[in-house]
Structure 1
Amino acid sequence: MRFLLSFFTALSLSTAAVAEPIKHTDLNPAFIDLHFGTLAGVGWYTNEPGGVVEAAAKAEGKVGDFAINLTSTSGFSRGQLACYQGDDDTLYPVVIKDVKADQVVVDRPLPRAMPAGAKLYNFYRDDAHGNQFGFACVVDDALRQLAERPMLRRAAQYKSASGWEVINGARSVPAPTAGYGDVGGHSEDGVGIAVHAGNAGAGVASKPVVSLYENMVTNVVINPGKQAGKQAAILDIVVTEIRPTGETIEAARTQVTRDDTIASVDIPYTIVAGSKIRVKVTVPTSGGAVFYPGSITHYHALSPVEDINRGKHVILGDSWSTPGAGIHKRLKERLDKAVVISKGIPGNRTDQMVARFFKDVANEKPDYVWIIGSTNDYYQGTSNQVFQFQITYLLDYIRSIGAKPIIFNPTVGAIAPLTGGNQLFNSRSFALNTLYVPAVSFLRSPLLQVKQQ
């Protein structure tokens, strides 16, 4: 009798401990820009040592600095993707642009201070994988993106040259797409262009497009290139609203600073529904400048950012999400109030993830499902169309079980991988052509207050 009482007491306690599923107000997918955002379009370089390279900062790196003073620069090289420890104990991606005896110069002003003694790490373990710190950086940057970006639906997209026209005396020429800094891909992805601007205010403008929605986020992928006499190039990006009345106003403005590497820039704003929107990218000062504008994507902002440090999370992926390591390990550390399970299988393509979804994911009854997959698809020659089908299946499956999708766009393929041919164009093609969030319907969303920049 005592045994039965203990058994039923334990059963009731364990039942009470099971958290109720989160009742989402919507199942709009959250999108993480891994390819152009975290990775800045940079893959593995053949002169990289692989494994883990680390060095400590000899002095504090302040916000806005480009130089990091290190105890050693052995193993670091120009063009290499790296990540540094910020004073908030999270990792921030940078691209190394110059290496000296005890200093590296990076492609962007440090977004967060780097304390003395904090570490700089290389990102890639080999041609297709980050190392443990690279994977941790992916998670840290993903959580920063999720904390800032609302849920989206894609309203319109223009790829590379198709979306831009030169203004104020600038001129454009076709740009070769042979390196990590180029924003184009295969010919069907949109040919890249180089914009030469000599006067302040010269640059490019997008073709006006009508927006049926008030609350928007426009994403611009761009390489600011080089500007004469400057450590890094600076570009002004302005979104102009042309209202049905003919009135023209500035809806949003921001700046991007990079030294010849790709940036993915989100610009949130609110307009009058039915207005036309136009994006201008210009140089703020006179002098020789060359920059490379990429895709423009206009999104309809659907719902605000939500707290995801709760509920049950399942990661479905490949070797980037191997259980107990890399991305899974870091996500468990960062989402300390949630349950995080990984169903990553090394070598998996997205079609294999689709095939095992209901067995491996649905049975866990998750509140959130993270999808990270693409590397094995482009290495094994999956076409854009087939890859899109698999992503669509996964998004539909996740929402069918009442969970919210959180999805990464592709990794960056190596130009000269250890095995196989040039994989950059294949990965870039996935990034430019795959619809990771739904296209808009012709319905108006509730007004979403988006902070303007």
Structure 2
Amino acid sequence: MQPIQFFAARAEDGALLPNAYVDVFVHGSQARAVLFSNSAGTVPLENPFQADANGRVFFYSSTDRIDIRISRYGYVAPMLLDISTVDVATAVEQVRGEIDQLLVQMKAEFDQLLLDAGYESVFLAYAAGAVVERPRQLVQRSGELFRVKDQNELPLTLTGAWATDEPKLMPVGDASLRQGLASLDGTSLIREPDGATLKTGMAAIRAAINRLQAGSATSQNNINQRVDMHYGVLRGVGFVGGESGGLVSTVTTAAVSADRFLPVANTASFLVGQLIVYQGANGEYYSGVVQSKDANTLSLDSKIEQPVSVGSVVSNFYSDVAHPNENGFKAIADFALRNLRKKTERVIAWAPSDGYTTQLAVTIGGVNSPEYENPGSNARPALGITAGANLAGVVTLPFDIAGGNYVARVTLTPALSGSIDPAVAASIAIRETVAGVGSPTIAAATVTGVRPTCVEIAFCKRPNSTVQVVITGASSGHQIALSKIEIVRVNSSVRSLDKGVHVWLGDSWFPMITRLQERLPNATFINAGVGGNRSDQLRDRFAADVAPYKPVCVWAVAGTNDIAQSVDPEVYAYNMAIVSSMISEVGADGIFFNVSVGAKAHPTLGDLLTRSRNYADKVAYLSESADRKVGFASRVHIPIALSVPAGATRRVGVLPGTTTLGATINKLYVIGQSGSTTGNIRFGFGGSAGAAISEDLQSVALSTSIRQNIAVTKSTVAERFMLVEVENPSGAAIDIVGFVIVTWTPL
């Protein structure tokens, strides 16, 4: 089953329908389809059910073809008809299986046809002394087939002299028939039971295959996928001092359907702040961080991801300071398979230094302490956000990307320790602006916890619009640490992993293969893991250890030893990029796990946490979208709609990256809402996306005319951000609207 997910919205204007009712029917009927909330089909979902508070609809169905009806408050959207729940790879395999069966049947029918017509499949070669014994026995000479004319002459012994034997034999025309069957139109000579020719049937089959292939035209191979091991299943937490190591487990004493509390038989072996593993009711393994405990309850820092049955296993995660235990490896493998559903390409990579604006009362600072709760490091500090009120926070500058389906991946710690109850959620929203006019939030999520996490939010962006990501707190004093934001384009569905040859290329974390093989029984796994390997060693042995197997998939894991041996993050990134290229060259898909979480206080190496954070932030692993071209001109559209206080200057845009060259403003139109031309548009360059223009400042006055082709000069070759601002020199606030279109060359 493939997941069915979308946002419920009005057909007329695209307005989202939060909490809308969703009815799912067997296609072409009023019978309700069977629904599930998980891919294994073990957790039933009511039908009808409600979309979530953001209008998001998500379910699985064992019914191959379904119709969907959306309704809310008396409004009923047009029916969504004939939706397939079968993934393309499975559908193609089904059709191929049907074709194979049909061909076997056709061959049997054809053989019977020949027998009924008096043909035999084994021919007697014409030669002196050959004996023809049966009336229908065929003699082959020079490609032609013959039969004895007079059955009274049987058995007939051939002399080998054609002049003597020919009068006793008659041609049966098989060569002519075979030539006809071998021609381009040969399939028209064979008819099926319903009277249709084989040619007609094969044309219909090819058409069906073409439709399936057309539907999967975006299912490109050789696009890297990243498993966010560092902030995902490891939750940014490494080995905690005082852990016992090995495998220490207990069991749950009651079933839990939600919340963050696990009732267990004994908590003595667990520590506050420790990463643990619990088994869900679906049989899969999940991770969590202990926030607090009493004698028989482990309180996690965030809600459980899956209901837990009574008697389920709960254990520690790490076997030692550098390796998971058996259950830890299971949790990583299960996390990977849950998240490897769509192929994506990175379009935007945002860091706090790329600029932002604030919303309501908020205090901003840097978070660079080497603590597990910090998603950044001293080299790449996280943005510390302290809300002064509900929904106070930060807003990224506008991102101008093509219309389509995207996922925003936001890496943050939702609540820094002690600032607020860990059950209180931080909010993340995607805001869209079209033609300078802000629209309601188009996607949103809330997240809790006091450890780093990566939150994924799917959204659909309209053409000719910009989007911003908004991160806010729940109340005054709520502290959030924001590390980075990636926006990735949803490219296609991941082809079925449960087949073909998979090579595990990595270090000593190869015990994960055992769980992957359990979950993917039809795939063949080759263990090319070598304990102690660094990224350069993976690169150097690829040709010998991977390429000969001609894999369909390569699982790449490295970094633990690079971190321990102080390999520069740039060198690590280079090595993994080479590995990525090699994977593409052999025609395989690459699945990359980002680095493990280094121990905060390694017994011999000290602080490995900071190094691991630098690796996790530095290396993307994902394929870069063609939209992010290096060295090619790119056009950016920046809508403008803001209020500028008296005597103030406000940022209206920053180009999404740095450049060493000048730019061209293709079109510029900025004016006060009442037609006022008081004020100036300023543009130039700066060393930080969040700072003021510091180099090559230029300024033009507001105007009722559209200005075109303004050269933005740059006096140095230093790498800088291009910035655009509105200046209000007057003594009263002004409301500004308009747009600017810029052509520039990103690095």
1:401 to 583, 586, 601: 586
Contact (CA 8 Å) 1:70, 1:104: kept in 2 or not? yes
Match of 2:243 in 1: 48
Matched residue SS, 1:37: helix
Greater alpha carbon shift after TM alignment, 260-269 vs 343-352 = 260-269
Contact kept? 1:31, 1:151, Cα under 8 Å: no
* Residue 308 of structure 1 pairs with residue 497 of structure 2: yes
Which deviations, in whole Å up to 9, do the C-alpha atoms of 1:36-88 show, x marking residues without a partner? 1111110011111111110111111222x211111111220000001100001
Quote the Cα distance in structure 1 between the aligned partners of 2:228 and 2:622: 12
Residues 101-132 of structure 1 deviation map (CA, whole Å, 9 limit, x = unaligned):
11110011111111111111101111110011
Q: State the distance in 2 between where 1:387 and 1:329 align.
A: 27
User: Which one has more relative contact order, counting CA pairs under 8 Å at least 6 apart?
Assistant: 1
Equivalent residues of 1:59, 1:115 under 8 A apart: yes
1:89 and 2:283 aligned: yes
Aligned sequence identity (%): 30
Q: Is 1:177–1:192's contact at 8 Å kept on the other side of the alignment?
A: no
Structure 1 residue 153, shift from structure 2 partner: 1.6
Alignment match, 1:18: none
Name the CA distance, whole Å, in 2 between partners of 1:125 and 1:203: 39
| 1:122 has 2:316 as partner | yes
1:163–1:296 Cα contact (<8 Å) kept = no
Q: Deviations over 1:239-286 (max 9, x none)?
A: 01122464534221111122x1111011111112342210011134x3
Paired residue for 1:33? 228
* Cα offset, 1:30, TM superposition: 1.4
Q: For residues 229 and 400 of structure 1, what CA distance do their matches in structure 2 show?
A: 50
1:295 corresponds to which of 473, 481, 484? 484
Instruction: Give the gaps of 5 or more residues in structure 1.
Output: 1-22, 445-453
Q: CA RMSD in A?
A: 1.9
Change (3 A) 1:344 1:388: same
What is the aligned partner in structure 2 of residue 178 from structure 1? 370
Deviation at 1:410, TM superposition (A): 0.7
In structure 2, which of residues 594, 611, 625 is the aligned counterpart of residue 426 of structure 1?
611
Write the deviation string for residues 314-372 of structure 1: whole angstroms up to 9, x where unpaired.
11000001xxxx20111111111211121100000011011110111111111110001
Give yes or no for the alignment of 1:219 onto 2:409. yes
Q: What TM-score results when the alignment is normalised by the length of structure 2?
A: 0.53
Number of the residue aligned with 1:317: 506
Q: Which moved more, 1:269-278 or 1:111-120?
A: 269-278
Candidates 342, 355, 360, aligned match of 2:527? 342
Q: Which runs of 5+ in 2 are unaligned?
A: 1-216, 630-747
Bigger drift between 79-88 and 209-218 goes to 209-218
Offset at 1:163? 4.4
Instruction: Give SS of 2:245's match.
Output: coil
1:232 maps to which of 414, 423, 429: 423
In 1, the alpha carbon distance for the partners of 2:415 and 2:353 equals 16
Distance 2:272 2:308 in 1: 20
Secondary structure of 1:125's aligned partner: coil
1:364 aligns with 2:559: no
Matching of residue 441 in structure 1 with residue 633 in structure 2: no
Q: Is the 8 A contact 2:363 2:388 kept in 1?
A: no
Given residue 564 of structure 2, which amino acid in structure 1 is its aligned partner? Y
Q: Is the 8 A contact 2:503 2:526 kept in 1?
A: yes
Match of 1:243 in 2: 434
Shift, 1:228, TM fit: 6.7
Counterparts in 2 of 1:114-263, with a 5 A limit? 114-147=308-341, 150-160=342-352, 162-187=354-379, 189=380, 191-225=381-415, 230-244=421-435, 246-258=437-449, 260-263=450-453
Tell whether the 8 Å contact from 2:347 to 2:627 is kept in structure 1 after alignment: no
Distance in 1, matches of 2:268 and 2:495, equals: 42
Residue identity matched to 1:156: I
Deviation at 1:204, TM superposition (A): 1.4
Measured at CA, do residues 395 and 213 of structure 1 come closer, stay the same or move farther in structure 2, by a change above 3 Å? Answer: farther
Q: Is the 8 A contact 2:221 2:588 kept in 1?
A: no
Q: Give the Cα–Cα distance (whole angstroms) in 1 for the partners of residues 628 and 615 of structure 2.
A: 28
Mark the CA change 1:94 to 1:425 in structure 2 (over 3 Å): closer, same or farther.
Answer: same
C-alpha distance in structure 2 between counterparts of 1:108 and 1:163, whole Å = 29
How many Å separate the matches in 2 of 1:116 and 1:407? 35
Q: Distance in 2 between matches of 1:131 and 1:361?
A: 26
Distance 1:274 1:128, change over 3 A: farther
Structure 1 distance, partners of 2:421, 2:606, is 36
Secondary structure of 1:31 counterpart: strand
Query: Which consecutive segments of 4 or more residues in structure 1 shift more than 3 A?
Result: 160-165, 226-231, 244-247
CA distance in 1, matches of 2:220, 2:364: 46
The one-character-per-residue Cα deviations of 1:371-410 (angstroms, maximum 9, x if unpaired) are 0111011111111111111111111100101111111111
Distance 1:74 1:376, change over 3 A: same
Contact 2:368–2:374 (8 Å) recurs in 1: yes
User: Residues 37 and 67 of structure 1: is their aligned pair in 2 closer, same or farther, counting only changes over 3 Å?
Assistant: same
- Report how far residue 302 of structure 1 moved: 1.6
Alpha-carbon distance in 2 for matches of 1:95, 1:242: 38
Distance, in Å, in 2 between the alignment partners of 1:231 and 1:54 is: 25
Question: Contact 1:161/1:294 (CA < 8 Å) preserved in 2?
Answer: no
Contact 2:387–2:478 (Cα < 8 Å) also in 1:
yes
In structure 2, the residue matched to 1:113 is 307
Residue aligning to 1:264: 454
Q: Structure 1 residue 73 and structure 2 residue 73: aligned?
A: no
Give the match for residue 281 of structure 1. 471
Give the aligned residue type for 1:438.
Answer: S
Query: Aligned AA for 1:61?
Result: V
Q: Provide closer, same or farther for how the CA distance between residues 79 and 300 of structure 1 changes in structure 2, counting only shifts above 3 A.
A: same
Query: Is the deviation greater in 434-443 or in 28-37?
Result: 434-443
CA contact (8 A) 1:311 1:339 kept: yes
1:148-184: per-residue Cα shift (whole Å, max 9, x none)? xx21222221224544432111111222322011011
1:9 aligned residue = none
- 1:230 is displaced (CA, Å) by 3.5
SS at match of 1:343: strand
Q: How much has 1:200 moved relative to structure 2?
A: 1.5
For residues 420 and 235 of structure 2, the distance between their equivalents in structure 1, rounded to whole angstroms, comes to 23
Moved more, 330-339 or 198-207: 198-207
Cα distance, 1:48–1:161 mapped onto 2, change above 3 Å:
farther
Which TM-score applies when normalising by structure 1? 0.87
The answer on whether the counterparts of 1:127 and 1:414 sit within 8 Å (CA) in structure 2 is: yes
Q: Is the 8 A contact 1:43 1:413 kept in 2?
A: yes
